[in-house]
Chains A and B, each alone.
Chain A
Amino acid sequence: MGAVGTGVPRKEAKDKVTGNIKFVGDYISPGLMHARLVTGTYAHALLKNIQTAAAWRVPGVKAIVTGKDCSFLTGAYLEDRPPLAADKVRYYGEPVALVVADSELAAKQGAEEVRIEYEPLPAVNSVHDALRPGAPRIHENLGEYRRVKPVFPETNSNIADRVKVRKGDMGKGWAGSEITVEASFHLPQSDHVAMETRCVRAEIAPDGRVTIHSSSQAPFVIRKLISRYFLIDTGKITVIVPAVGGSFGGKAAVQLELLAYMASQAVGGRQVKLVNTREQEIISSPGRIGLDAEVRLGATKEGQLMAAEITYLVDGGAYSDIGAVMTKSIAADCTGPYKIDNVQCDALCVYTNHPYTTSYTGFGHASYTFAIERTLDMLAKKLKMDPWQLRRMNAIAPGDTSPTLTGLTTSNLGDTGKCLDRVKQLINWDEGQVVTGQDGKIRAKGLSALWKTSSTPTDARSGAILTFNPDGSLNIGVGAVEIGQGSKTNLAVMAAERLKMDVGKVHVMMEVNTHAHPEHFKTVASMTTFMAGRAVLEACDDIIHQLLSMASIVLRCSPEDLDVAGGRVFLTDNPNMYVDITELVHGYKYENGNSIGGQVIGRGSYIMRHLTEMDPETGKGNVGPGWTVGAEAVEVEFDPGDFTYKMLKAVAVLDAGKVINPRIAQAVVMGRMNMGLSLANREGLIYSGSGVVENASLRDYKIMRFAEQPQYTVEFIETPQIDAPYGARGLGEHGLIGMPAALGNALSAAARVELNQLPLLPETIWSVKEGRP
């Protein structure tokens, strides 16, 4: 049949072009109650008083929930965040109260009538501010917070976590370095801007059963946290996720779900809908980390990298959430895909009075990659060496070790060298990095290599249950969410391949239901194809085993004599002797009525193997099952007169291991490239001096638009990962990782100035050129 590697359209395609697909917010019912958030208007202030009397007077208002009504703290690694601010607000836009009403209108009117009195506190407005001696403390009780997983907050500081990586011998590294280069970098926080804002519905049945509908990447985590914080058995909680309107990591965080539960509780369990406005989506719910970095690299005169000393200061905002996990992930892959034997990296997750942060496409890798890859270009300049050559000669390879000392093999590591070779051709590097046109415009190219492993928990797991319909078509039941990445279709492709059946006869369900579907860790880290894929393949093998064994009785032969394909089980040596699987999948019935076998139900599961936590002192640990590597390049046309530029081309070559579905793989990688360029070329939260976010709307927070994109080229190298389904490595978010760095390198070359901050606005280039602060 050969479904893998062919371009199978998305299963849900027709529903998406007709407006028929349903997202959480598309459920309309007159009985629905509506909740609205009241959010803080200071970045850092004591809450003196919350007056709700006027809000209660609004007709239709049924309940008002404040921080006093919830006594627990929440967090992914470190429980540091109250679901509603209690004693003080720590960022602009922090949820302070929740108004529940019988209409959306009344909820908004009520929310507008809640009056909050503040006593402003000095705001910590950058990571450097946060680390300054005597800086205001954002969390006075940092030492007392409960740690759910390994995390190392430092008492009496604004440091939520410190991760150390120590590899080799720095003394030796520097001694062997003939050329050194160092630089510092600043990348602001930014936002996911999924087109669907986060939306939740919660209800509590009279017998205590809880049902949550959420636009989430993590339904099973929601179940766990609702259970943990509200002391409800997980068996009494059902979380349902339909299709999700974009997420990019942002919808892996659990926030509104806890609030919606409290809202429902406050109105006697009735179903309550809570949806973010766009402004709340940008500031109140978690966004993307900022990063300040200092990188020092040492190399021999020939360009061999000898030493790397790196400090990454992650602006995680007011609460650690996944920011702390991303800090670990950044540290673990801190050098990029290069062989460096002596590495010292300190990565700190720093509290500031900025909106808190969570996972984001690339999981922090695009940020540190900008710092590393820009430094490499500066090093190449100092070495008078071609930047491509410098990368190629230092590209990491099997036999080397990762910064956390995992041994790299041809299976767990893709081929960075091959990716660099192909990118070089596709971007026409040999033409020269900088070419000045007759009109005075400068065409310039920039490169970046990239790598990423998954950084999941060591016990991350997935499962699959496969059932048949009477027509012989297959249903795939998995707990992975369709967020636009095409995973459901990819799983159908893999099942069709393994069962040698028409992919058109494999059905997927957009909805995930934690009661009906086996647990899937979270739909993050580009791990769905890997983890759920492993589970689906195991379930397919389970089905094949059942079909063969039943058919061997029917056909009076040994199971070893049989094969399954095209909806039949047949004798391998005589395909004309077969039984149609429609006669088997619900039990085989003989002519006299006797039946055997029962339903064929496939069961598969997968759990990560051999992963370990990082050692707190050295970082040593095995943080992921494999590294996806790649190389990217951007070509710009720069106008030296006014510092404006056009992005002409962007190229990505990724080692996919195996491309399961070229259509979807191309599209997803291209989309992430676009997002990476958007981040680099215009995005970033802008703060006032007191930490107020000044661009919390799509009018002021700009993302790339139609016709602003360059010509994209996406290609794949296929170095199979042996333990992955069909050899397919994690793939998707990687398209984003090298884009900011490649753009930074192209523009730095074009403008003949070191551009070490984002976003790369014409004004940014102008001010660096002019030597302005």
Chain B
Amino acid sequence: MFQMLDIGPLELNVNGEKRTVVARPADTLLYALREHLGLTGTKNACETGDCDVCTVLIDGWPVKSCHMLAVEAVGHQVNTIEGIKGSPVQTAFLAKEAFQCGYCTPGYIVTAHALLTLHPDAEDEVINEWLAGNLCRCTGYQEIKEAVLMALGR
């Protein structure tokens, strides 16, 4: 049985690197990534799991890092926006002007990157399902949809 009784070191695998953070069992992964590892590309916007701005990949799947304890991530591969380089999703977001203020953008890139990896043939229904959690207040969503379609080669 794995256990963590108090504040202490945790070994996480983040963006392909082993990183040690000193966290409490009650600390969220979001907090640990930002405050302990300085990975501030993952943003905080609600802390209640209602906006997907803080989405990261856990073993390739998009998960809201505010809704996961740092300790839960032990033994899993965590990927943040900083670990996603040269994704077709990024190229497509640039080409389609699919962001304005940029605050929600890492969450979109991470989610869409996972979609591209896990469902390269995704149809509209799947795209809509996957991205319905991500809130954006600046765009009209249309350009985001266009960018995701472009990344999927459609």
Name A residues whose Cβ lies closer than 8 Å to a Cβ of B: 9-10, 12-23, 25-26, 28, 104-105, 192-197, 243-248, 277-278, 483-486, 663-664, 666-668, 670-671, 673-675, 697-699, 703-709, 711-712
- Known interface pairs A15-B102, A246-B103; A28-B35 also in contact (CB < 8 Å): yes
Nearest-neighbour CB distance to chain B for A239, whole angstroms, equals: 19
Nearest-neighbour CB distance to chain A for B66, whole angstroms, equals: 11
- Asked if B65 is at the interface of the complex by the 8 Å CB criterion, the answer is no
CA distance A671 to B93 in the complex (A): 15
Residue of A10, A244, A697 near B50 (CB, 8 A) is A697
- Taking a contact as CB atoms under 8 Å apart, the answer to whether A706 and B93 are in contact is no
Nearest-neighbour CB distance to chain A for B35, whole angstroms, equals: 6
Interface SS of B by simple majority: loop
Question: What mask results when residues 32 to 48 of chain B are scored 1 for a CB within 8 Å of chain A, else 0?
Answer: 00110011111111111
- Known interface pairs A13-B94, A19-B106, A245-B103; A26-B142 also in contact (CB < 8 Å): no
CB-CB < 8 A to B103: which residues of A? 23, 194-196, 245-246
- Taking a contact as CB atoms under 8 Å apart, the answer to whether B85 and A706 are in contact is no
- Taking a contact as CB atoms under 8 Å apart, the answer to whether B101 and A484 are in contact is yes
CA distance A247 to B100 in the complex (A): 11
- Asked if B71 is at the interface of the complex by the 8 Å CB criterion, the answer is no
CA distance A243 to B109 in the complex (A): 19
- Known interface pairs A16-B102, A19-B42, A697-B48; A671-B97 also in contact (CB < 8 Å): no
CB-CB < 8 A to A708: which residues of B? 141
Name B residues whose Cβ lies closer than 8 Å to a Cβ of A: 24, 34-35, 38-48, 50-51, 53, 80-82, 84-85, 90, 93-94, 97, 99-106, 109, 127-128, 131-145
7 further interface pairs, Cβ-Cβ under 8 Å (given A105-B24, A703-B135, A706-B136): A17-B105, A28-B38, A670-B139, A675-B137, A705-B133, A708-B141, A709-B142
CA distance A704 to B40 in the complex (A): 26
- Taking a contact as CB atoms under 8 Å apart, the answer to whether A23 and B128 are in contact is no
CA distance A667 to B41 in the complex (A): 23
CB-CB < 8 A to B51: which residues of A? 195, 698
A-B contact pairs, 9 of them (CB 8 A): A16-B99, A19-B41, A28-B35, A193-B135, A193-B137, A245-B103, A484-B138, A671-B137, A698-B51
CA distance A277 to B133 in the complex (A): 19
CA distance A23 to B101 in the complex (A): 10
CB-CB < 8 A to B142: which residues of A? 670, 709, 711-712
Nearest-neighbour CB distance to chain A for B6, whole angstroms, equals: 14
- Taking a contact as CB atoms under 8 Å apart, the answer to whether A195 and B140 are in contact is no
- Known interface pairs A243-B101, A486-B100; A709-B140 also in contact (CB < 8 Å): yes
Residue of B43, B50, B90 near A17 (CB, 8 A) is B90
- Known interface pairs A16-B102, A667-B100; A674-B90 also in contact (CB < 8 Å): no
Nearest-neighbour CB distance to chain B for A484, whole angstroms, equals: 3
Residue among A243, A671, A675, A712 with the highest chain B CB neighbour number at 10 A: A671
